[in-house]
Each structure stands twice: as structure tokens, then as C-alpha cells.
């Protein structure tokens, strides 16, 4: 096997509150010359801090975390200037977790039942710029989208939206998981202007964060 240049290794940050799981993953990665575990975090707050310090290529992010949950941590990481990619690695595939992680900007969603070689393939894919959803998660997303389409096709009175056309456009981008810098680039506005729009959207929808805004947008048909 050819020697892997240290600079070409995929740098991975493990985020999970179960020490045994992190230890197992770290042991597995130690057998893979292509990968390097650069750090471990047991809660979302630590994850955010370590991403800033270590600048990993990939974060394997659990969702049900203490202190700061995986959805909030993912949102903050993706809204920063880092190019770090985030993969949800969770035992859960409930609707709230799926919507939350995708709205927060996760680049992939894997269940912990995934085979080891498949996980490595997913990491390579996402590191190269791709995205991935576990087939079970993809099916649930398809069902949710189909439900929304069927609902939209039913004749109903027009729902009043407190948002302007521009705010609805930005809310659509938020629901697709785009960060503020990415939205600014898409619609050719300054980052400060986009941040102002996002604050107005959260205020008008009476929600605390982008994840709640995206969930409410889907639930109430605002986008």
C-alpha cells in the first residue's frame, strides 16, 4: 500500500457524548492511512470550539448531545467562515432530527447502523464536494416532500404571510441549509444586509433560530 502524504489525509473530528463509541471510531480510523482523527468532542459547544481550533475537513456529528445539541452546533459551524463539512451520524431518523440537521446545513446524514466501509466512502464523497443521505432518511424526506406537494395541491384560502417577497426568498435558502455568506452570494447582497433580513425573519415568525424558522416555514407553507 502506497504511503499517504500527511497533508493529503482527511482530517476528522468526532463528536459524540458516548466515550466508547468515540474510542471505537478512533481505533477504526487509526487503521486507515487516508484518515486522521484530529480531535474529539463530547458536546456541541466543544465541537464548535474545536472546529475553530483544528479546522478539520469533516465533522462526524451526533445529534442528541448535552450542553449544545448537534443541530445547533452544525448551524453555528456552517455559518462560520470554515469550509468544514458536517455529517450527521445518529441513531435517530425522526422527522425533527432530519429537518433540523438539513436546515442547519449538514452535508450528509448517516445512521449509526452504517457499515464501516460505506461510512468511509461517504466521507470521501462529502470531502470531494458531494452530499449523502442514508436510504432510509432519503425515503422519509421523499415522503415529507410528497406530503407537502399534496397539501399544496388542495384548494385552500391563501395563508397570510408576514414576510416580504425578499424575506420569503431568504427563508427558502435557509430551509435549504445555506449559510448567511452563501445566501449573500446567491442574491448579490452584503453579508450585513442578509444578517439583518434573517433577524427580521426570526422576529416576524416569533422563533429563536434558523432551524425553528425552517421548520415553521415547511409546516405553515410559507415557502
| Total domain count, the chain | 2
Same domain, 128 and 22: yes
Decide if 150 is inside a domain.
no
We report the CATH number of the domain holding residue 95 as 3.40.50.2300
- In the prediction, which pLDDT does 146 show? 66
- Which three cell numbers mark 202? 426570526
**Entry field: residues in the chain:** 223
Decide if 76 is inside a domain.
yes
Same domain, 103 and 189: no
Distance of CA 117 to the CA centre of its chain: 22
Decide if 145 is inside a domain.
no
* 109-122 core/surface letters (b: 16 or more CB in 10 A; e: else): bbeeeeeeeebbeb
Q: Are 117 and 111 in contact (CB under 8 A)?
A: no
- In the prediction, which pLDDT does 153 show? 55
Same domain, 93 and 54: yes
Q: Which residues form the domain of 178?
A: 155-220
Helix (H) or strand (E) holding 167: helix 165-175
Phi, psi of 156 (to 5 degrees): -155, 160
Same domain, 19 and 128: yes
We report the CATH number of the domain holding residue 208 as 1.10.10.10
Give the separation between CA 120 and CA 100, rounded to whole angstroms.
24
- In the prediction, which pLDDT does 6 show? 66
Decide if 148 is inside a domain.
no
Decide if 54 is inside a domain.
yes
- In the prediction, which pLDDT does 142 show? 72
Same domain, 160 and 70: no
Give the separation between CA 166 and CA 164, rounded to whole angstroms.
5
Counting as low any pLDDT under 70, the low residues of the chain are: 1-6, 144-161
Decide if 144 is inside a domain.
no
Same domain, 169 and 203: yes
- In the prediction, which pLDDT does 156 show? 47
Amino acid at each position: 500500500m502506497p504511503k499517504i502524504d500527511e497533508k493529503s489525509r482527511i482530517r476528522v473530528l468526532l463528536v459524540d457524548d458516548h466515550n466508547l463509541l468515540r474510542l471505537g471510531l478512533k481505533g477504526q480510523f487509526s487503521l486507515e492511512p487516508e484518515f486522521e482523527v484530529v480531535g474529539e468532542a463530547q458536546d456541541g459547544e466543544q465541537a464548535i470550539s474545536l472546529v475553530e481550533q483544528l479546522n478539520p475537513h469533516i465533522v462526524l456529528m451526533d445529534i442528541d448531545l448535552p450542553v449544545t445539541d448537534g443541530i445547533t452546533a452544525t448551524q453555528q459551524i456552517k455559518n462560520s467562515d470554515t469550509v468544514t463539512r458536517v455529517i450527521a451520524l445518529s441513531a435517530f431518523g425522526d422527522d425533527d432530527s432530519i429537518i433540523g440537521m438539513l436546515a442547519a446545513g449538514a452535508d450528509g446524514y448517516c445512521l449509526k447502523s452504517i457499515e464501516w466501509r460505506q461510512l468511509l466512502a461517504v466521507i470521501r464523497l462529502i470531502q470531494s464536494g458531494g452530499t449523502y443521505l442514508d436510504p432510509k432518511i432519503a425515503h422519509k424526506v421523499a415522503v415529507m416532500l410528497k406530503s407537502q406537494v399534496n397539501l399544496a395541491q388542495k384548494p385552500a384560502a391563501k395563508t397570510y404571510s408576514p414576510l416580504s417577497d425578499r424575506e420569503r426568498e431568504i427563508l427558502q435558502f435557509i430551509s435549504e441549509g445555506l449559510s448567511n455568506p452563501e445566501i449573500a452570494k446567491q442574491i448579490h447582497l452584503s453579508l450585513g444586509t442578509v444578517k439583518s433580513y434573517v433577524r427580521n425573519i426570526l422576529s416576524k415568525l416569533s422563533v429563536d433560530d434558523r432551524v425553528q424558522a425552517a421548520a415553521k416555514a415547511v409546516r405553515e407553507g410559507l415557502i
